[in-house]
Amino acid sequence: MSKFKLITDGLVKNNPTFVLLLGMCPTLATTTSAINGLSMGLATLFVLVLSNMAISAIAPAVPDKVHIPVYIVVIATFVTLLQFLMQAYTPAMYETLGLFIPLIVVNCIVLGRAEAFANKHGVLESACDGLGVGLGFTCSLTVLGLVREILGSGSAFGYNFIGGHDGMLAFVMAPGAFLCLGYLMVLFNKYLKKN
Amino acid sequence: MAAKSNLTNMVLALGVTCLLCSAILGGAFVLTKEPIEAAAAQKTNRAIAQVLPAFETASERQFVEALGKDFPYYEAKNGETLAGYAIESTVVGFGGNLTLMVGITPDRVVYNTSVLSHSETPGLGAKCTSDPKFVSQWQGFDPSVKKLIVRKDGGDVDAITASTITSRAYALAVENALVAFDTLYAPDATSGATKPVEEGGQSNE
C-alpha cells in the first residue's frame, strides 16, 4: 500500500469520526467552535503520529501478554508531554480544552490504531497512518465545530457576522452536537456510497 | 509480531518502558517548568493591569481572610500611595467555580473586573467574559450608588440574557471581593470598615 493511500484512507474511507465513529466523547464535547475543534484535532494528531511511530518500533520486542499496558504507558507519555507543551506555550487553549487533553490517553482512536496497524507495520508506514487518521479526525472536528459555531453563535473561526444577536444556542450545547454530528454523518456516507 | 511471554520478559518490558517514559517526562517537566510558570505569571499580571488604574509596583500574591476563607490579593502602588487592590474571588457559578480578579481602588469603587477561570455553558454563561454590555458595566461600578444585585432581583446589575445564574454568581464574587477589600483597607479608622453585606446607603468619605 502506498504511503499516500494510507493518508487518504484515514481521511475518507477510515474517517474516525464519520465512518468508524471512534472518539465520540471529545468530538461532541470540544466542538463548540471551529477553533476548539481544530485544536483538539491537532492535539490528537500529535499524539497519534508519535505513539504510532514509537509503538511500531517497539512492538517486536514487547511480550504479547503485556502489550496493552506497554502501549498505554507509551501513549500516556506522549499525552503528558503534549500537556506540558500546551501549558507552557498555548495556555489559553489548554484551559479551553481542559480535561479533554489528558483524556486523549483513553481515546480509542489512538489505542485502536496501535493495535490494528502500528504493531504490524514499519515506523514510516505507521507514521503515515497516524497522520492520515489524525488529519481525518482534525478535519471532521473542525467541520463539526464550524457548523455548530455558525448555527449556534453566528460566527466562523471567531469572526462574528450577525452583530450583537444571539445564534441558535441549542447548537452550542450537547443536543446540537448530536444533531449536527448525525446530519454530517448522513451527508458524508451518502457521498461515500456515490463513489 | 510480539515475542512469546514469560515472567522475565514481561517484567523487563514493562519495567524498561516505565523507566524510559518517566525519564522522558522528568526531562520534559524540567524543561517546561519555567515557561509554564512564566505563562501563569504573565496571565496574572495581565489580569492585575487590566483591573486597576496605572500603577508602578504590584506586590506578591498575599492572602486576606474574610467570610471564613482566604482571598488571594495583590497590592498595587504608585510610589508610596496605594493604587488599589486586585482581589481574586471565587464563587460557584452555573457549571463550576467562577474565579474573578476584581480591582478595587481606595475610594471603594470597582475599577474593573476580569474572569480568571470559569466553566460556564459556552454561548450562555461563558459570555460573562465577552458580552460587551455585561463586561463594561463593571468599569467604575460604585457599590455605594448601585445595588450589587441583578436587575431581576431588584438590583442594578444587568444580567446576561438567559444566564441569570452566572450573572448572580458574578455579582456575588464582586461583592465578596468588596468584603475582602474592607478587611484589608479601612480608609477612616474612626468610622471603621463598612459591612458591604447590607448594601446601599452607606458610604465612606
Can you tell me the ipTM of this complex?
0.76
Name which of B81, B76, B79 is nearest B53 in CA terms.
B76
Residue B2, pLDDT above cutoff 70: no
Confidence of residue A19 (pLDDT cuts 50, 70, 90): confident
Confidence of residue B136 (pLDDT cuts 50, 70, 90): confident
Residue B54, pLDDT above cutoff 50: yes
CB proximity list for B184: less than 8 A, separation 6 or greater:
B64, B73, B85
* Interface contact A84-B4, CB threshold 8 A: no
Section B8-22 average pLDDT = 91
pLDDT digits (tens, 9 = 90+) for B147-194: 888 888 888 888 888 888 999 999 999 999 988 888 887 755 444 444
Section A157-162 average pLDDT = 80
Q: Of the ranges A1-5, B30-34, B70-74, B139-143, which one carries the lowest mean pLDDT score? A: A1-5
Confidence of residue B49 (pLDDT cuts 50, 70, 90): confident
pLDDT digits (tens, 9 = 90+) for B21-38: 999 999 999 999 999 888
Q: How many Cα neighbours within 13 Å face the side chain of B188?
A: 8
Helical packing angle, A174-194 and A123-153, nearest 10°: 120
Query: Using CA atoms, how far apart are residues B60 and A61, in angstroms rounded to an integer?
Result: 52
* Interface contact A64-B40, CB threshold 8 A: no
Section B69-94 average pLDDT = 87
Residues in chain B within 8 Å Cβ distance of A75: none
Residues in chain B within 8 Å Cβ distance of A164: 132
**Full-model pTM:** 0.77
Q: Of the ranges A43-57, A175-189, B90-104, B150-164, which one carries the lowest mean pLDDT score? A: B150-164
Nearest to B10 among A66, A119, A164 (CB): A66
Q: What is the reported pLDDT for B26?
A: 94
Residue of A nearest to B125 (CA): A169
C-beta separation of B148 from B137 below 8 A: no
* Interface contact B2-A119, CB threshold 8 A: yes
Q: Name the percent of chain B lying above pLDDT 90.
A: 17
Section B39-54 average pLDDT = 86
Residue B204, pLDDT above cutoff 90: no
Q: What is the reported pLDDT for A54?
A: 93
Cβ neighbour number for residue A40 with a 10 Å cutoff: 27
Residue A25, pLDDT above cutoff 80: yes
Joined grid coordinates for residue A14: 477510515
What's the whole-number average pLDDT of chain A? 88
User: Per DSSP, what are the bridge partners of residue B72?
Assistant: B63
Confidence of residue A164 (pLDDT cuts 50, 70, 90): low
Q: Which residues of A touch B (CB under 8 A)?
A: 32-33, 58-67, 69-70, 73-74, 76-77, 80-81, 84-85, 87-89, 91, 95, 98, 119-120, 152-153, 164, 166-167, 169, 172-173
Q: What is the reported pLDDT for A182?
A: 93
Q: What is the reported pLDDT for B199?
A: 41
Cα distances (Å, whole numbers) of residue B1 to A55, A64, A100, A130, A147: 12, 9, 32, 19, 43
Section A184-193 average pLDDT = 89
Section B104-129 average pLDDT = 84
Q: Name the percent of chain A lying above pLDDT 70.
A: 98
Q: What is the reported pLDDT for B29?
A: 92
Contacts across the A-B interface (CB distance below 8 Å): 95
Q: What is the reported pLDDT for A168?
A: 82
C-beta separation of A133 from A117 below 8 A: no
Q: What is the reported pLDDT for B149?
A: 84
C-beta separation of A169 from B124 below 8 A: yes
